[in-house]
Amino acid sequence: MLNDKTHMTIEQVQEKLNAELDLGLSLSKALGNLRHLASESNTPEWKGTITQGMAILDALHAVQLAVKSRQKLIDIDNQKV
């Protein structure tokens, strides 16, 4: 007999899927906004400081890493099925 922890109710599956969708959408929005800011900060019209530009690039890198990590988790989950 399978362990009770291997079975999820429909509500639990729906909650997990909703959380995954929310995470994906939020990361996508943040990534798009940061890409835009990074692009803008690389123009001659940029009025921000070097520190602000570096902060944008650091945040962009962090979100890109989060997206890759999320994809790895999805891939691992898919291998379990």
- Residue 69, judged by CB atoms within 10 A of its CB (0-12, 13-18, 19+), counts as exposed
Q: How confident is residue 3, by pLDDT bands cut at 50, 70 and 90? A: very low
Three-class DSSP category at 1: coil
Long-range contacts of 43-46 (CB under 8 A, 24+ apart): none
Q: Does residue 2 have a pLDDT over 90?
A: no
- Domain ranges for the chain, please list them: 8-80
Average pLDDT over residues 44-53: 94
What 3-state class would DSSP assign to 47? Answer: coil
Q: Is the pLDDT at 66 greater than 90, yes or no?
A: yes
**Is residue 7 helix, strand or coil?**
coil
Give 1's Cβ-side CA count (13 Å radius).
3
pTM: 0.79
